[in-house]
Amino acid sequence: MTIRVRQQPRSRRRIALRTGVPLVTLALAVTGCGASVAPGAPAGSPRSPAASHGSRTLGAGSALPSPTSTDAAPVTASTVPSATAATCTDRYLSGMTTAQRVGQLLMGGISAAQPDQAQLRTLRDNHVGSVMLTGRSTAGTTATRKLVDGFRGQADQVAGRRVGLLVATDQEGGRVQVLSGPGFSAMPSGLTQGGWPTATLRTQAAEWARQLKAAGVNLNLAPVADVVPAALGTRNIPIGSFQREYGHTADTVTSHTSAFAAGFAQSGVMTTLKHFPGLGQVIGNTDTTANVVDSVTTADSGSLAPFRAGIRAGSPFVMVSSATYTKIDPKHLAAFSPTVIDHLLRSQLGFKGVVISDDLGNAVAVRSFTPAQRAVNFIAAGGDMILTVRPSTVPAMAQGIQARMQQDASFRAKVNDSVRRILDAKHNAGQLDCG
């Protein structure tokens, strides 16, 4: 989350928050209310280990299978690319095939404990540009790094230059911590973190980020910026029942999401504000329930303060929820709403970075739509990166986007804009070869 940028060797950047907290070069790159939770989670919980697909073990250091076709294509928190970044990004973008461009819009989930070769091949054959480690792994930092390095080495190339992968996971704390074992700390719940002084949280977050970076992960799908009212508490299934919130007031959530993000930036790992425009006022969990509705939040609600503050600080990623917000756009799920994404998030709040969806692969909230419709609707609404924890949905999503591109010039322009934003983030992360 940055605003000041200066050139660094090898196209990396150093950044500083408006708050004065120094940020160091960020390194590599999902989920939302559908975060993985610890064993023993109650029914209706965020994604459990069993929801992560992949039954065959891929040994440490294993790579993504080679593609069957050649046709396809520190993270600074700065959301406005420099002239150098723009030139590098444009060079990559102009060299990409349509299939490669579409692949950059997708983030596929892979089990952190038992990666599946067939699923990895699906991601590779469809030129998927980002990966999310899902489920539960107790393997530790060293083993995770070997695994990540293996499939990162097989990322797509454009004109002989690698398009580096963004590797993400859900590492919030408490019952939402995908990676554990040797080298990883046991992170307390968000509610516990919210009771700490912000300086303490920032220091701890910097250490947690160093651990992720050592494991090869460059994007954390956290912090949770949702404000759960005290009166709702644990009746709020996606957040409150798991104590994922930092507190019950906008002030507490704002100060502690900012501290968490600053600590991660200090250690070179990107963060994601989620789940815009907030899941604090709902009852149901969009992963396990259809027709989740927020009838309270408006475009001017105080509960948007954590998002506003993070965006002003330069947040590189914002995740959009799959609930419906009747006082903002009663006709569309937020993830499919131009009013939520293009108008509120982009225009009113001024967000310039990457808009990522909550899970669109397995969530019950979107099951009335085909995978192709989910992908097309999200991009048409102004979204950039489609998260799916089910790699089997990737081919249909990619095909749906390509078909719409052939039919609609304005949609094609949206795709190119989204790819450019994603490549800018990768450039800032040092994942593009711009030498």
Question: What whole-number distance in Å separates Cα of residue 124 and Cα of residue 346?
Answer: 31
Question: What whole-number distance in Å separates Cα of residue 379 and Cα of residue 267?
Answer: 31
Read off the pLDDT of residues 26-72 as tens digits, 9 standing for 90 and up.
333 333 444 544 444 444 445 543 333 333 223 333 333 333 333 33
Nearest to 429 by CA among 141, 11, 109, 86: 11
Complete domains list, the chain, with CATH: 4-428 (3.20.20.300)
The pLDDT score that the predictor gives to residue 39 is 41
The pLDDT score that the predictor gives to residue 365 is 98
Collect all residues with Cβ–Cβ distance below 8 Å to 61 and sequence separation of at least 6. Answer: 146, 147, 149, 150
| Cβ–Cβ under 8 Å, residues 193 and 174 | no
The pLDDT score that the predictor gives to residue 46 is 56
Nearest to 23 by CA among 301, 278, 315, 247: 315
Nearest to 267 by CA among 3, 10, 77: 77
Collect all residues with Cβ–Cβ distance below 8 Å to 408 and sequence separation of at least 6. Answer: none
Rounded to whole angstroms, the maximal C-alpha distance in the chain is 57
The pLDDT score that the predictor gives to residue 428 is 86
The pLDDT score that the predictor gives to residue 18 is 35
Distances (CA, A) of 138 to 119, 125, 184, 331, 362: 21, 29, 9, 42, 24
- pTM, 2 dp: 0.84
The rounded Cα 31 to chain-centroid distance in angstroms is: 6
Nearest to 254 by CA among 198, 312, 309, 192: 309
According to DSSP, the residues that pair with 387 across neighbouring strands are 107
The pLDDT score that the predictor gives to residue 4 is 34
The pLDDT score that the predictor gives to residue 84 is 63
Nearest to 314 by CA among 32, 81, 130: 81
Question: What whole-number distance in Å separates Cα of residue 322 and Cα of residue 279?
Answer: 9
In a structure prediction context, what are the per-residue pLDDT tens digits for the chain, which is 435 residues long?
333 333 343 333 333 333 333 332 333 333 344 454 444 444 444 554 333 333 322 333 333 333 333 333 333 344 555 666 678 899 999 999 999 999 999 999 999 999 999 999 999 999 999 999 999 999 999 999 999 998 888 899 999 999 999 999 999 999 999 999 999 999 999 999 999 999 999 999 999 999 999 999 999 999 999 999 999 999 999 999 999 999 999 999 999 999 999 999 999 999 999 999 999 999 999 999 999 999 999 999 999 999 999 999 989 999 999 999 999 999 999 999 999 999 999 999 999 999 999 999 999 999 999 999 999 999 999 999 999 999 999 999 999 999 999 999 999 999 999 999 999 999 988 889 887
- For strand 157-158 and strand 161-162, is the pairing parallel, antiparallel, or unpaired? antiparallel
Read off the pLDDT of residues 123-144 as tens digits, 9 standing for 90 and up.
999 999 999 999 999 999 999 9
- For strand 219-220 and strand 166-169, is the pairing parallel, antiparallel, or unpaired? parallel
Read off the pLDDT of residues 244-285 as tens digits, 9 standing for 90 and up.
999 999 999 999 999 999 999 999 999 999 999 999 999 999
